[in-house]
Structure 1
Amino acid sequence: MKRLHGKVAIVTASTDGIGFSIAKRLAEDGANVVVSSRKQSNVDAAVDKLKKLNLEVLGVKCHVGLSEERKALFEQTIQKYGKLNILVSNAASNPAVGGVLECEESVWDKIFDVNVKAAYLLAKESLPHLRKSKGSNIVFVSSIAGYDPFELLGTYSVSKTALIGLTKAAAKELAPEGIRVNCIAPGIIRTKFSKPLYESESAHDEALSRIPMGRLGESDEMAGVASFLVSEDASYITGEAIVASGGMTSRL
């Protein structure tokens, strides 16, 4: 029997990159997985790819910053599968580059609304469902930038530090109920979202100089960490941020 057999998982921003790889891996490990993102066309394309692999998935359009769409996400999940065991909050935004003290207030608000506030609200709104099953899990996707801020991603980096704090605070509150809360802090992963960090030759060389393993990470490598964290293999782990960065500095 696969280790996530019978589990139901929601993965936000899961039509591409790390989110898609996590959704795919959880489904491969036996979970029924709800795939979501802001655009219906992206949801449909991702679901089609996963169903061609004979994986059990449901696609739901969801902009995590909109309360009515978050509500629909949970409602459709319960309507289809009858329960929820796992929430993976992966959605993130970074509409501008630059240092943290150069950030416009409107940009700061947008980054924190999506990266932190929406993650918090998803977790909060998932609890009535997670509490109905034993061994439920929440996983936030942070970043190595939450530990060691990137110069061009100042505000984004701070938002990812906040997710590490949210993980620790929520884990302590929910531990007595048997709900585990953990976090993944990916390094520089080969995705569309991270392209500015490695697409030019100079940026690529700079990125590799910071990674002791000497290569970029792959989305599937993050998926393995997520699957471990929500499985019984990690039954005594909560409140932790698992850094998967090829050896990049990861201490606050």
Structure 2
Amino acid sequence: MARFSNKVAIVTGSSSGIGRSTAVLLAKEGAKVTVTGRNPEKIRETVDEILKNGGKSEDVNIVIGDLTESECQAELVKSTLERFGKIDILVNNAGAAFADPSGKVGTESNLGLFDDMLKLNLRSVIELVQKCRPHLIASKGDIVNVSSIAAGPSPFVYYTYYGVAKAGLDQLTRCMSIEFIPFGVRVNSVSPGLISTGFLNAVGFPNDAVRKTEEYYASQRDCIPAGRTGKPEEIATLIAFLADKNSSAFIIGQSVVIDGGTSLALGMPSHDLSKVL
């Protein structure tokens, strides 16, 4: 029997990158999956990948919308329950950093960006967990949040507001884990380093700048000791491990770092990204 047979998962931000790889892996291993994002074409690509890897169309639920909107979250929960009858796994992957159009970084950046990043990276997680709470308790399910090494302890000045939001998510993970474990629901998170996804494009980098950034940091052993950027599939594998009680039942409230050694070397924040580009 496949590892996630008879399990129902919601994976937010599943139109690309880590979210897409996670949805594909969970479906490949037997789960019924709700995928969601704002771009219908990209979500279609995710579904195609699921089907290509052995998933069944009847086991995929699609919700198009903005996760920061309560209506979208309500539809996520409602449609998943109507389609599959329960919720076993919630992967809070949707998240992003936004660049200030003026080029300012750190606390000089527009405060509107701070509000937007908190809304997407932290508030939307809290709100969706509130909506899923009774259903996860009923199934004794699992929550996996996707954080970032930008949350600390090393400061990334280019992503100050993003790091603050993700640091909040790490604390939320710890608090929720204690709150939920008496009901049999585990909460954990993963903290990726630099992963080859569309993340930097979403920040505002053109493709050439993304390539330069990834190649530069991968070539600097004090930035990524592993000598390469990570792959979305590698993060998905860790998420699946944390969502599987048979593999990780005694792991509760942890944020597992997966960064090729970046947070050990501590060199990345000292490099001036503007000079790299």
Task: With the length of structure 1 as denominator, give the TM-score of the two structures.
Answer: 0.93
Aligned to 1:109: 115
1:191 aligns with 2:191: no
Among residues 119, 125, 128, which one is paired with 1:122 in the alignment?
128
User: Separation in 2 of the partners of 1:211 and 1:151?
Assistant: 18
Paired letter, 2:151: G
RMSD across aligned positions (CA)? 2.0
Range with greater deviation from structure 2 (218-227 or 61-70): 61-70
Equivalences for 1:1-252 in 2 at 5 Å?
A: 1-55=1-55, 56-97=59-100, 98-134=104-140, 136-147=141-152, 148-194=154-200, 196=205, 199-201=210-212, 204-209=215-220, 210-232=223-245, 233-249=247-263
Paired letter, 2:168: A
C-alpha spacing 1:190/1:78, structure 2 compared with 1 (3 Å): same
User: Separation in 1 of the partners of 2:35 and 2:149?
Assistant: 25
- Work out whether residues 139 and 182 of structure 1, in 8 Å CA contact, stay in contact via their aligned partners in 2: yes
User: Separation in 1 of the partners of 2:211 and 2:19?
Assistant: 24
Identity fraction in percent:
35
- Work out whether residues 185 and 242 of structure 1, in 8 Å CA contact, stay in contact via their aligned partners in 2: yes
User: Separation in 1 of the partners of 2:166 and 2:95?
Assistant: 9
C-alpha spacing 1:78/1:216, structure 2 compared with 1 (3 Å): same
Instruction: Compute the displacement of 1:250 (Å).
Output: 6.1
User: Separation in 2 of the partners of 1:203 and 1:57?
Assistant: 33
Where structure 1 has 5 or more consecutive residues not aligned to the other structure, the ranges are: none
User: Separation in 2 of the partners of 1:79 and 1:219?
Assistant: 30
What is the aligned length? Answer: 251
- Work out whether residues 208 and 216 of structure 1, in 8 Å CA contact, stay in contact via their aligned partners in 2: no
- CA distances 1:56-100 after superposition (whole Å, capped 9, x unpaired): 322111311110111011100001100000000111132215533
Instruction: Compute the displacement of 1:203 (Å).
Output: 5.9
Instruction: Compute the displacement of 1:15 (Å).
Output: 1.3
SS at structure 2 position matched to 1:132: helix
Paired letter, 1:146: A
Range with greater deviation from structure 2 (141-150 or 107-116): 141-150
Range with greater deviation from structure 2 (39-48 or 61-70): 39-48
SS at structure 1 position matched to 2:224: coil
C-alpha spacing 1:203/1:85, structure 2 compared with 1 (3 Å): closer
SS at structure 2 position matched to 1:14: coil
Paired letter, 1:221: E
Range with greater deviation from structure 2 (55-64 or 31-40): 55-64
User: Separation in 2 of the partners of 1:102 and 1:203?
Assistant: 25
User: Separation in 1 of the partners of 2:264 and 2:85?
Assistant: 39
Paired letter, 1:60: V
Instruction: Compute the displacement of 1:207 (Å).
Output: 4.9
Which has the larger helix fraction? 2
- Work out whether residues 28 and 50 of structure 2, in 8 Å CA contact, stay in contact via their aligned partners in 1: no
User: Separation in 2 of the partners of 1:48 and 1:28?
Assistant: 12
Instruction: Compute the displacement of 1:53 (Å).
Output: 2.9
Larger radius of gyration: 2
C-alpha spacing 1:77/1:202, structure 2 compared with 1 (3 Å): closer
- Work out whether residues 192 and 258 of structure 2, in 8 Å CA contact, stay in contact via their aligned partners in 1: yes
Paired letter, 2:150: A
- Work out whether residues 188 and 207 of structure 1, in 8 Å CA contact, stay in contact via their aligned partners in 2: no
SS at structure 2 position matched to 1:131: helix
- Work out whether residues 37 and 43 of structure 1, in 8 Å CA contact, stay in contact via their aligned partners in 2: yes
- Work out whether residues 24 and 49 of structure 2, in 8 Å CA contact, stay in contact via their aligned partners in 1: no
Instruction: Compute the displacement of 1:237 (Å).
Output: 0.8
